[in-house]
Structure 1
Amino acid sequence: MMKNNYYQKMAFLGMLLIILFTFQQYTSKEKEDFSDVKFLTPHSIPLHLTEFDPNELDQKQWQSLGFTEKEIATILNYKKVVGGQFISKEQFKKCFAVSKEKFSELAPYILLPESNKEAKPSRYKDFKKRSITVSGRFNPDHYTVNDWMEMGFSKGQAEAILNYKKFLGGSFVSKEKFRECFMISEENYQKLAPYLILPDKTPANFNSYAKNFKSEKTKIQYHTFDPNTFGLEDWKSFGFSEKQAQNIINYRDRNLKGSFKNLEDIQKCYMISAEKFEEMKPFIKLNPATINSSQNQKAEIKQQEKTDFSKTDLNTITFKQLIEFGFDERAAGSMVGFRKKLGGFVTKEQILTTYNIDVELMQKLLSIAQLNTSNVPKYTLTEAPEEWLKNHPYFKYSAEKIIFYRLSEKDERKIWKLLKVKPEYEARMKLYLK
């Protein structure tokens, strides 16, 4: 009996030692540091975007735009709900699977009218899906914009296809690379593939993009020029696209009030890269006469001022009067447009939130001019017209909820609780409520 007790005690001590040893090993083990671990998401991959019609995209193409399978399914279901095709960017934007950030990224490339109002049959014909016809075997490297349009592609699609060819280095290289063109849907590729005069596979040593753009740069013949007298075609002759050239001119005429004053002004233009600036720099000759001319014109305009801005109402000030005060056309148009959407300004602080506005110049105007708010329309939450709620910049994102809640609730305090808007948004909205 004593022998059995001895063995039981020894077994218990052995088990206790094993447990203690295991616990010591676990507690002494250093914790692994995961601070440098980074997770990649599909949205972290940069997209090479070209113009596209969202009505023509298949599952694979939506994925190439960065959407998940679930988001794609939602977009396709939404397309069925709205009648089988998107008719405008405005309509596409309303799909809740498309975030505001994603829409902003894609909007410049979408081949649809801006709004539903613009999407009339006569105007929509340029955007809708076309059937592709092929007459025989052809080499796509030799095709122009007109050739692609005759085949059935829109002008925007044709230009995007040529931009893709340029991206590859001036040639589609192979059927394999041609198939990767974003503008070519799988359905259209299957139609075109038998007629393409291209190798099936891409050469192993293929190197796109860089070589082509080096050769392009050597073709540009620079000459001495005054950037203050350069027009659209002049900037294009230096290798800028039409859009880039127009933006340079806008920057000069609007942001700089008509002229580049020095080399630094040119260097700061966001459309001119540092590399491009260095190329052009030896040929830039700023003529003092063109600089003085723009300044003299500005002085003449000031002399012609007739408006007494101390007696001017900010809710009735005109586009021309804003130009007269010194604003450029973009800023003046933004202010007048914003005021129209609001139905009038209620506080001077609102005006400073206008896009594209010169804040310093606007503050000067605000210190001089008056603000009459007597004609600004105001309503209660329960009586506000539906159209007004849906179009007003401060209410449109909550309009549907307001319309829904007030069907069964007449106490505005309770409606505000149900809306759950941020305090700063609520404060803005209440400016237009009785």
Structure 2
Amino acid sequence: MKNIKSRIQFSKQEQSGIFFLLLFIVLLQGGYYLYDKNYSKPLEDKFVLNLSEQNKLDLLKKGVANKKSIIHPFNPNFISDYKGYTLGMSVDEINRLHTYRKTNKYVNTAIEFQQVTKISDSLLKRIQPYFKFPEWKQEKTKELFVSKKDKKSDYIKKYKDLNIATSVDLREVYGIGEVLSKRIVKYRKKLGGFSNNNQIYKVYGLKPDVANRLLEKFQVLKASNIKN
């Protein structure tokens, strides 16, 4: 027995090693407990917080999407960064408009807006119906863009063609009776048709003031090839 007891006795060095091993195990377990207590739960709370923030962001995005679908009439000269974003414009397109406006210039038509911003035809087609320019700008634009065809149409509506007027038509003018009206038609036939309004003054017996009244109703709308 004495021999067995002597065998299981440890030296001081061995005892110290065993002690430090046990101490390391205890510290390791304590550290794991503290880590599990202090970090695991906050991580869960942090995840819940991020989920809440994400829900807020989703709601904001949904709100922006809804605003994009509802467009109210607006003056395109005063588009803000946010307004441009909701309309579908890029940053460069918005900046081009702002740079143009800094020169104290305004766009007055949808075409001018596209020329300045360089937006696509599809985007212009989508937002153009909501453009609202000042009324005085619209009236001025209408005057500037009256075509030559429209002017000619108004001119034709105001006057009757002197080259196709009958003697009866000419008698509508005060001072022109049966004799003068037939003389005018005869002179026109002789010329092969009037080439300009001034030729009416050459009709024999037609006074200048009567000729002036005649030209207030009749004009050479389709001139002949006859030269003066």
Structure with bigger helix share is 2
The TM-score with structure 1 as length reference comes to 0.16
The structure, 1 or 2, with the larger RCO (C-alpha pairs under 8 Å, 6+ apart) is 2
- Larger of the two Rg values belongs to structure: 2
